[in-house]
Chains A and B, each alone.
Chain A
Amino acid sequence: MKFSWRRAIAIGRKEVFHILRDPFTLATALGLPVFMVVMFGSAIEFNVKNIDLAISDSDQTSASRRLMDTFQSSGYFKIHRVVSPNEALVNLTTETARASVIIPPNFEKDLTSDRGSQVQCLLDGSDSSTVAPVLGYLGKIQSISNDRIAAFNPTSPFELRTRFLFNPELNSKWFVIPGLNVIIMSMLSILLTALTVAREWENGSMELLLTTPVEPLEIIIGKLAPYGVLGITAMVFVYIIARAVFGVPFVGSLVVYGLGSLIFLMTYLSQGLLISVVTRNQQVAMQIAMMSGMLPSQLLSGFVFPIESMPIFFQKFTMIFPARWFMQISRDTFLKGSRMVDLGIPFLALIATCLLMMTLSTRIFKKDLEK
């Protein structure tokens, strides 16, 4: 029997009715991405500020007070004064402070006698997201306080002039939001398909569908297309929010971005299909969707944890995840304005995974039918 669009469309229409009948699914598919982008877009901030800092001042002189002022006026820290060095240390264990500064008793005396004074800074090493920035801040404050308190300001023999391209103010939102949309879309598309098809198997309605004269490919296209439309709609919503609410610039070409989104969605939709065909059980489908879709796209896509820092094996391993490639396409088209030529590798990789997933799912689906 030949492939017929009429039958595929009929299956598609049936699926649309399914979606429309269940307002919960529809609301999730469209409302969730919007809600999440707004929520996490405002929540996530990499420029660490207001770090709780415990200071114990055993010196109580004008010099030590000026040192404290320097910490205060830097704007990075929220200062808590404590009475003893021991308390400063305990504050780290009780999580009331992320760092402690202990000013020794002879701070001012050592300073005026040219012996130099040591100020002890203790950092809480259990929280990775704050250690690195705090170390950087301490370096800056050290040189400022040397200048202010001890009038020590040697001129450096060189100067480093850094230009931050594509995001000159190092705005975290510009970095996070183009990545967030990748994660939200990957979650949504895998989930929706994994569940719909698995449900049909569980209910037995798939068997029913098989007895009708519909070709496997027609079923697949008919089932996926409505979710593809749903995904693209959600994507447009997210794009509008990124631009209008968060003011993320978009300097690239919408055509390149749109094309990337389309291939990406197709890949994840067929991955969802594959999962559901293989598992035929919603509970297992859910677990696998979670492990193969949600966790890797959050953790191994370069969204927060840099791919370059992974061991070589994992750098190669991340290549099988479409989310990694689309992450690059999304960030580069948003901020860099990369052209198609520059994104050749991500696009090729995305197309390859897409074709692989599609053939695999159609093959297995077909084989299942013939049994």
Chain B
Amino acid sequence: MNQTLIGFIKKELIQTLRDPRMRVLLFVMPCVQLTLFGIALSNEVKNIRLAAHFDSNDWVMSHIYERATVSKWFLPVQAQDSDPYRLIESGVADAVLVAPPGGFTKALARKGAPLQVLVNATNVTQAQSVEGYLNSIVSQTVLDDLKISLPNPPIQFDQRVLFNPDLDTSVFMVPGTMAMLMIITTMILTNLAIVREKELGTFEMLISAPISSVEVIYGKTIPYVVLGMSNFPLILMVAVFAFGVPMRGNLLVLLASALTFVCTAVAMGTLISTYCKNQQQATLAGFLFMFPMIMFSGMMFPLENMPPVLRWVAYLDPLSHYMGLLRNIMLKGGGTEYVLTHISVLGTMAVVVVFLSFKRFHTTLG
């Protein structure tokens, strides 16, 4: 590497890290956020507010309600005598159990007792879970109270959840959040840094200086690759030590995929910057890319369900590959074929984007 380039990189690093707020934003915030989101976020549905309507002498029913509200899934709501529909409409309860007329205990004796459940379905995921939870609670209580035991079915599915047997949500969420936070410190920062120089007019100065445009590009991008990568060990430590996310794969493989991702992200930032005139546009463009990238990453929604065209869009999202890689390497130990495929997809993206941004740079400089 030549002297000019090293000097350039140094200048860029100093310039970025000079602002104490920037240092905090770069190194402290990602760790804090990972911790916050790691604790807070979960896909599991629990603490559903459940109300019930039944007579006080309906003992099976009161057992059901008791069992439901001591489980972590439901919280009791004390509103015995108003209209069940109104309870949900006013937002006091999310679900209401309504015993059949004459009581559930009596109806059970008559065989075939429809127990009504009203569920607020404005939240689709919650509504789906309520039905399943209640079903298992009711059948368990009925079996215990009335000593009815159903015969074992002849075909039994022995279900096992691999890689995360306790369904610990932070194990799912933390690798996803790691990937998400890294895109902020790479793509967005690079983009802003370049556009800032353009806006201030110092970019013109660089061009007139005796350095080649290749050196300019490398000098502007390598520091951000360095910054992005220096972030990674910190985040990884939080994930492994604070959240106990397993690290089953090879650390070097993980680092290699992080590096490929950071390069791709920085390259994208550079390409975007060639289209932006001022920092406001750069910021808007950053958001414009970041929001879909998170949405299509597979962290919030399963990618399997998307229409085929949009699945292709998701395939072009570097974040989806990186998130897949993080999960695969950390949780599953990394399938060689999978890891190689996705690292090379990311690498190809980086090369294509770098090529495009070189071309753009030449035309804009010319």
Residue among A125, A279, A341 making CB contact with B162, cutoff 8 Å: A125
| Cα separation A92 to B142 with both chains bound (whole Å) | 38
A308 with B155: in contact, given A42-B307, A50-B305 (CB under 8 Å)?
Answer: no
Give the interface size class of chain A: 35 or more
Tell yes or no: B287 within 8 A of A by CB: yes
Q: Which of B135-161 contact A (CB under 8 A)?
A: 135, 138-139, 142, 146, 148, 150-161
Produce 1/0 per residue, A133-149, CB < 8 A to B.
10110110111011001
A197 CB, nearest partner CB in chain B, Å? 11
- The segment out of B204-212, B222-230, B331-339, B356-364 that lies at the interface is B331-339
Q: Which of A37-96 contact B (CB under 8 A)?
A: 39-40, 42-52, 67, 90, 92-95
**Residue pair B304, A130 in contact (C-beta under 8 Å):** yes
Produce 1/0 per residue, A220-263, CB < 8 A to B.
00000000000000000000000000000000000000000000
A69 CB, nearest partner CB in chain B, Å? 14
- The segment out of A163-171, A349-357, A360-368 that lies at the interface is A163-171
**Residue pair A157, B337 in contact (C-beta under 8 Å):** no
**Residue pair B113, A159 in contact (C-beta under 8 Å):** yes
Q: Which of A112-128 contact B (CB under 8 A)?
A: 114, 116-128
Tell yes or no: B19 within 8 A of A by CB: yes
Q: Which of A2-52 contact B (CB under 8 A)?
A: 22, 24-25, 28, 32, 36, 39-40, 42-52
Chain A neighbourhood of B288, CB < 8 A: 28, 32
**Residue pair A67, B155 in contact (C-beta under 8 Å):** yes
| Cα separation A260 to B12 with both chains bound (whole Å) | 45
Residue among B117, B151, B310 making CB contact with A160, cutoff 8 Å: B117
Chain A neighbourhood of B45, CB < 8 A: 306, 308-309
Tell yes or no: A195 within 8 A of B by CB: yes
- In the complex, residue of chain B having the shortest beta-carbon distance to the beta carbon of A93: B335
**Residue pair A150, B154 in contact (C-beta under 8 Å):** yes
**Residue pair A149, B155 in contact (C-beta under 8 Å):** yes
**Residue pair A166, B122 in contact (C-beta under 8 Å):** yes
Tell yes or no: B167 within 8 A of A by CB: yes
Residue among A22, A42, A162, A283 making CB contact with B131, cutoff 8 Å: A162
**Residue pair A126, B164 in contact (C-beta under 8 Å):** yes
**Residue pair B306, A126 in contact (C-beta under 8 Å):** no
A310 CB, nearest partner CB in chain B, Å? 5
Report the interface size for chain B: residues with CB under 8 A from the other chain.
117
**Residue pair A163, B116 in contact (C-beta under 8 Å):** yes
**Residue pair A146, B155 in contact (C-beta under 8 Å):** yes
Residue among A162, A283, A295, A338 making CB contact with B22, cutoff 8 Å: A283
| Cα separation A121 to B157 with both chains bound (whole Å) | 6
| Cα separation A70 to B9 with both chains bound (whole Å) | 61
Tell yes or no: B252 within 8 A of A by CB: no
- In the complex, residue of chain B having the shortest beta-carbon distance to the beta carbon of A125: B164
A328 CB, nearest partner CB in chain B, Å? 8
**Residue pair A283, B192 in contact (C-beta under 8 Å):** yes
- The segment out of B51-59, B86-94, B255-263 that lies at the interface is B86-94
| Cα separation A174 to B127 with both chains bound (whole Å) | 13
**Residue pair A295, B113 in contact (C-beta under 8 Å):** no
Tell yes or no: A294 within 8 A of B by CB: yes
A117 with B301: in contact, given A199-B280, A279-B21 (CB under 8 Å)?
Answer: no
Chain A neighbourhood of B46, CB < 8 A: 306, 308-309
| Cα separation A371 to B278 with both chains bound (whole Å) | 29
**Residue pair A43, B146 in contact (C-beta under 8 Å):** no
Chain A neighbourhood of B115, CB < 8 A: 158-161
Q: Which of A158-200 contact B (CB under 8 A)?
A: 158-168, 170-172, 174-175, 187, 191, 195-196, 199
Tell yes or no: B77 within 8 A of A by CB: no
A94 with B337: in contact, given A128-B173, A191-B287 (CB under 8 Å)?
Answer: yes
Tell yes or no: B240 within 8 A of A by CB: no
Most B CB within 10 A of own CB, among A22, A171, A299:
A299
Chain A neighbourhood of B146, CB < 8 A: 157
Chain B neighbourhood of A143, CB < 8 A: 153
**Residue pair B307, A309 in contact (C-beta under 8 Å):** no
- In the complex, residue of chain B having the shortest beta-carbon distance to the beta carbon of A303: B300
Produce 1/0 per residue, B252-288, CB < 8 A to A.
0000000000000000000000000111110110111
A166 with B120: in contact, given A49-B305, A123-B162, A125-B161 (CB under 8 Å)?
Answer: yes
- In the complex, residue of chain B having the shortest beta-carbon distance to the beta carbon of A89: B162
Interface residues of B (CB under 8 A from A): 19, 21-22, 25, 29, 33, 36-37, 39-49, 85, 88-91, 104, 108, 111-132, 134-135, 138-139, 142, 146, 148, 150-165, 167, 169, 171-173, 184, 188-189, 192-193, 196, 277-281, 283-284, 286-288, 290-292, 294-296, 298, 300-302, 304-307, 310, 313, 324, 327-328, 331-333, 335, 337-338
- 9 A-B pairs in the complex with CB atoms less than 8 angstroms apart: A28-B288, A36-B292, A92-B163, A98-B304, A142-B153, A150-B153, A155-B112, A164-B127, A311-B39
In the complex, besides A25-B280, A166-B120, A309-B44, 14 extra interface pairs with C-beta distance below 8 angstroms are A36-B291, A48-B305, A119-B157, A123-B159, A129-B302, A161-B115, A175-B124, A191-B283, A195-B279, A195-B284, A281-B19, A287-B184, A291-B25, A304-B301
For the complex of A and B, the 10 pairs showing the least CB-CB separation, nearest first, are A125-B164, A128-B172, A164-B121, A167-B121, A45-B305, A308-B47, A94-B335, A125-B161, A129-B302, A314-B40
